[in-house]
Amino acid sequence: MKKLVIIGGGFAGAKIAKALESEFNVTLIDSKDYFEFTPSILRAIIKTKYLKKIQILHKYYLKKSKIIKGRVEEINKDKVILKNNSPLKFDYLVICSGSSYNAPFKEQDIVIATRGNHIMNYHSKLKKAKNITIIGGGLVGIELAGEILWKFPFKKVTIIQSKGKILSRNHQKSINYSKKYLENRGVKIIYGERAITKNKDTILTNKGTKIKSDLVFICTGILPNSKFMIPKFNKNLDDKKYIKVNSNLQLEKYSNIFSAGDVNNIIEEKTAQSAEKQAEIVIKNIKNLELKKGLINYVPKEKPMVISLGRYNGIFEYKGIVLFGIIPAFLKWFIEKKTMIKYKN
């Protein structure tokens, strides 16, 4: 069987490994040993036991794949090099290494909002904190504010948003609803400013605004996890270090190397749903290469979006249709449940 190496065990990598492990000798490399339903990790800071519902070890749903917990140092045209590990040869490589947040300053009591286990460890500090700052007013920042207000309605929450509005890429109805929802619950939103330093319990913005803060959540500054590409594949990265792919999700000049999910330069909302749709194309195209068939193009399309504002409230948005309230909140729970059943079964 030909060797397929997959870097990253998120929505794209997990789906590809699960679909192809019966047809290829699959090796999955991930920095953690489990799949995680990342759209729900924010609830872990409210309910510490929640992570158990949205995590499953890779070995439980991958029956034939080899799983390596580690980080890739470098790749070349036919090998993946890991730290303290022998090089892994491949016939096909799929890069699904995702993205991460970049903290504007390195201090204690800074929470990176994409790390489930990290978030859970701050539950006790959240309970004690009186003043909470969220840096970033995009999807993650707004959902985090909704989670905190649901469980701790008397906390003082401040959102620092560098742009002129929150949820800047969403429908105006979603922006208006979330703004009203948050402000009615005492949230202060600072627009057009960036956090630059933190000194003890005070954050300073680039415009001189001082914000008293016991706990800070980073929900902005997304960076693609592509550092291992730089030594040999720097020409395949764009100016923001996203991996450049063609319409078949292949690297230019490398028909056997694909990339899916947050780390590539496809212009669309970087969501779990987009990662899974790209994974479907990669799966079909690897099979088609083996069968010497034509490849399928990935065409970005607008997808339904669900924004959570706590357990019982949310926003559903699709093609100009915007719904508010408990139905979107239920829909997000249903999507999470359906995904986890798929992997657990």
What is the pLDDT at residue 168?
92
In a domain, 211, yes or no: yes
Q: What is the CATH number of the domain that holds 14?
A: 3.50.50.60
Structural domain boundaries, residue 40: 3-100+222-303
206 and 248 assigned to the same domain: no
In a domain, 296, yes or no: yes
Give the C-alpha separation, 171 to 168, whole Å.
8
Domain boundary residue, one of 164, 197, 220: 220
Per-residue tokens: 160: 């620092």
**Amino acid letter at 114?**
T
216 and 138 assigned to the same domain: yes
Per-residue tokens: 181: 């929802």
What is the pLDDT at residue 201?
87
150 and 47 assigned to the same domain: no
What is the pLDDT at residue 107?
59
Q: How many domains does the chain have?
A: 2
What is the pLDDT at residue 198?
85
Return the closest-CA partner of residue 266 out of 250, 286, 280, 254: 250
What is the pLDDT at residue 49?
85
Per-residue tokens: 14: 């997990």
Per-residue H/E/C for the chain: CCEEEEECCCHHHHHHHHHHCCCCEEEEEECCCEEECHHHHHHHHCCHHHHHHHEEEHHHHCCCCEEEECCEEEECCCEEEECCCCCEECCEEEECCCEEECCCCCCCCEEECCCHHHHHCCHHHHHHCCEEEEECCCHHHHHHHHHHHHHCCCCEEEEEECCCCCCCCCCHHHHHHHHHHHHCCCCEEEECCCEEEEECCEEEECCCCEEECCEEEECCCEEECCHHHHHHHHHHECCCCCECCCCCCEECCEEEEEECCCCECCCCCCCHHHHHHHHHHHHHHHHHHHHCCCCCCCCCCCCCEEEECCCCCEEEEECCEEEEEHHHHHHHHHHHHHHHHHHHC
pTM of the model: 0.92
54 and 10 assigned to the same domain: yes
214 and 270 assigned to the same domain: no
96 and 107 assigned to the same domain: no
65 and 169 assigned to the same domain: no
What is the pLDDT at residue 100?
85
What is the pLDDT at residue 147?
93
Per-residue tokens: 329: 């909140």
In a domain, 191, yes or no: yes
* 345 residues of the chain, pLDDT tens digit each: 999 999 999 999 999 999 999 999 999 999 999 999 988 888 888 888 888 899 999 999 999 999 999 999 999 999 999 987 789 999 999 999 999 877 666 656 677 766 676 777 788 888 899 999 999 999 999 999 999 999 999 999 999 999 999 999 899 999 999 999 999 999 999 999 999 988 888 999 999 999 999 999 888 878 899 999 999 999 999 999 999 999 999 999 999 999 999 999 999 988 999 999 999 999 999 999 999 999 999 999 988 999 999 999 999 999 889 999 999 999 999 999 999 999 987
What is the pLDDT at residue 138?
93
**How far does CA 341 lie from the centroid of its chain?**
20
What is the pLDDT at residue 48?
81
